[in-house]
Amino acid sequence: MRTAMANRLTPYMFMAPAAIIMAIALMYPLGYMVWGSFRDWNPSQTIGEAEFVGLKNYIFLWNDPNFHESLIVTLKFAFFVVTIEMVIGVGLALLLDREIRGISVLRTMFILPMMIAPVVVGLMWRYMYHPTVGTFNRFLDSIGLPRVDWLGDHALTSVIIADIWQWTPFIFILSLAALQSLPRSALEAARIDGATAWQQIIHIKLPLMMPVLIVTALLRLIDAFKVLEVILVMTEGGPGLSTEILALRISRTATEFRELGVAAAMSNYLLILLLLLTVGMFAFNRWQEARAARLNALVEEES
Amino acid sequence: MSTPNSRANLAFYAVIALLVFMSVGPVLLMFINSFKLDVDIISGTSGLIFMPTIQNYEQALCDVLWYEPEHLDFCSLKFGGAFINSLIIALISTALTLVIGCMAAYALVRFRFMGRDTVSLSTLMVRMVPPAVLLVPVFGLWNNEFCLDRDGLIGGAIRDTFGGRGDVCLAGTHSGIILIYVAMNLPFVIWILQSFIVQVPRSLEEAARVDGAGPFQVFFKVVLPLIKPGLAAAAIFTFRIAWNEYLLASALSDRDTRTVPILIVNNMSEFNVEWGVIMATGMLLAIPPIIFTLLASRQIITGMTAGAVKG
């Protein structure tokens, strides 16, 4: 009797520490943030002292051109980063999918960029983009081309390039793994039927890799909204608002403008955006599984 | 027949060489520049012809050096202290996250219990929360609510035993930063470890159960040793985030608990950047992750693929 009781309690005992910590340090803060977003709140007040203002913060942001600007910058950044990284990463995987000697050494070198601190990545690129001493402009000088004002006129592009440098290997490695676990029989059959390399890619490899590719893209997309340190170090959001992504704007609203309520409302907008993406990902996964199950059932019926 | 083939091979290796150069180049550049004097960096005597010097590193580490570098009359950059803070925070939060996350992942995989689906769903949801979103509430809570009141029971006890004011807040302490890092990393660790625990054969556990081992013994003596690769991957990812994180640490730390990323950002935002010293600090911050990458790239890649493919 006592052992049965103990056994029933076991899962809860295993879960308890994680559940408690996440409740205290994640769920409670998130609730607290929603609560705080309805208040006119500055850092020197406790939340109880702050005045309740209803939806004022949300309405203010809804009409705030700066917020729009930064939302657009964020979406642009996320869109370009994910698209370009997917194209390059998957393309390289398709190109390099063969027996390579020393592949493990290569992979080690490719994952180096993403293990290094974002702060340091920003620092390296800020140096390389430097208008006078930077690597790129020195190179342009040496071959006689005019200098480019990387972090001035082309700040967003430069920031996107840095992110592509850091995260393309992630997509490359994942799609290479997906590619190498494809069923050999399908590829073999295609080759025997005389499909060209290009046809194999379009009709067999890409469709079979699709589930992994979509999950990868969504993971990258969600991570693209978390990028902050690289941009902070490289441009501090400037010039103007040209690289001020939402995460950066939240942190500046909270620390520089000292308007915690507005920052909380902004965080909520960002969270809603991400939630929609996540729900989309879930729905897609479910749909994929359902389709696979249906196909399996169909195959079994026929046989 | 052999000519186009070998030409294709040549092109293939050229592409690979270019890719390696592109991914390692910037790191190498920083490494080289960290051994140059600012004069050399700015004057543009490009290439490898320069006198290597460790002055930058001496200046960065001046607060922990046992001798006084003669080119320095004032130690402004307290890098050593920040490095130790970073180390304490990253190591403790990694250890805690692993132990707690491992137990939770085990429960989610092996037991059917009430609320299991809710827990597993919310774990996934929370994974999507960016650190920037946590900034405001964490700042508010850690400064105002997660405090030991001086009149309260524990606060009073601390005041009576250790003296001091007795009202301690989580903000500005190591444990404050550790708490948020553990919470932030838990969903990810649980997610990754689940995919490893599923692979442990049930029969092994049942055999141990028959031999009279309790659930905790089964977990620690049978399951844990079998998922070592997963643990290594999870540990590296957790350590990486805790070691590299800037935003939340900057909101929660005070002068004595500053971590390295904060130090670097603070020195960057000043108008006149001392490239040599900054690159030396950047290099020092990058060294632990680089070592991990070189030692455990296989585990990192396994973890990465498991995390993405087993969505």
Which structure tokens are listed for A252? 């500046």
From chain A, pick out residues whose CB is under 8 angstroms from the CB of B186: 18, 21-22
Q: What is the mean pLDDT of chain B?
A: 78
Enumerate residues 6+ apart whose C-beta is below 8 A from B53.
B35, B36, B37
B310 pLDDT tier (thresholds 50, 70, 90): very low
Facing residue for A112 by CB, picked from B24, B180, B247: B24
Facing residue for A21 by CB, picked from B186, B251, B293: B186
Among chain A residues, CA nearest to B106: A14
From chain B, pick out residues whose CB is under 8 angstroms from the CB of A28: 141
Q: What is the mean pLDDT of chain A?
A: 82
Cα Rg of chain B (Å, integer): 25
ipTM: 0.82
Which CATH architecture is the domain B79-309 placed in?
A: Orthogonal Bundle (1.10)
Beta carbons within 10 angstroms of residue A157's beta carbon: 14
**Where is mean pLDDT largest: A72-86, A100-114, B6-20, B168-182?**
A72-86
pLDDT of amino acid B311: 39
- Integer Cα distance of A141 and B104 in angstroms: 57
- B128/A165 Cβ within 8 A: no
- Start-end of H helices in chain A: 2-22, 28-36, 56-62, 65-95, 103-115, 118-128, 135-142, 155-180, 184-192, 197-200, 206-224, 229-234, 246-255, 260-302
Q: Which residues of B180-210 are buried (b: 16+ CB within 10 A; e: fewer)?
A: bbbbbbbbbbbbbbbbbbeebeeeebeebee
- A33/B309 Cβ within 8 A: no
Nearest by Cα to A264 from A79, A116, A42: A42
Task: Sort A69 into a burial class: Cβ within 10 Å, 0-12 / 13-18 / 19+.
Answer: middle
Residue type, A104: S
Residues 155-214 of B with CB under 8 A from A: 179-180, 182-184, 186-187, 190, 214
Q: Report pLDDT digits (tens) over A263-291.
A: 888 888 898 888 888 788 778 777 877 88
Question: Which site among B15, B41, B136, B169 would you substitute to test the A interface, given the most A Cβ atoms closer than 10 Å to its Cβ?
Answer: B136
Q: Report pLDDT digits (tens) over A27-74.
A: 888 888 888 888 887 777 777 777 788 788 888 888 888 888 888 989
Facing residue for B265 by CB, picked from A7, A174, A232: A232
- Integer Cα distance of A100 and A290 in angstroms: 37
Chain B nearest-CA distance from A98, in A, is: 10
What are the boundaries of each domain within chain B? 79-309
Nearest by Cα to B172 from B152, B146, B150: B146
Facing residue for A112 by CB, picked from B23, B106, B243: B23
* Higher-scoring residue by pLDDT: A57, B152: A57
Chain B nearest-CA distance from A290, in A, is: 15
Q: Say whether pLDDT at B307 is over 70.
A: no
Question: Which site among A10, A230, A257 would you substitute to test the B interface, given the most B Cβ atoms closer than 10 Å to its Cβ?
Answer: A10
Query: Omega into B52 within 30° of 0, i.e. cis?
Result: no
- A248/B309 Cβ within 8 A: no
- What structural domains and CATH numbers belong to chain A? 69-294 (1.10.3720.10)
Helix (H, G, I), strand (E, B) or coil at A260: helix
Q: Kindly state the DSSP code that residue B223 receives in the 8-state scheme.
A: I
Residue type, A25: A
Nearest by Cα to B264 from B245, B251, B290: B245
- Integer Cα distance of A129 and A155 in angstroms: 10
Which structure tokens are listed for B292? 């991990």
- B126/A250 Cβ within 8 A: no
Residue whose token pair is 């390039």: A161
Q: Which residues of A13-48 are buried (b: 16+ CB within 10 A; e: fewer)?
A: ebbebbbebbeebbebbbebbebbbbbbbeeeeebe
- Integer Cα distance of A231 and A247 in angstroms: 10
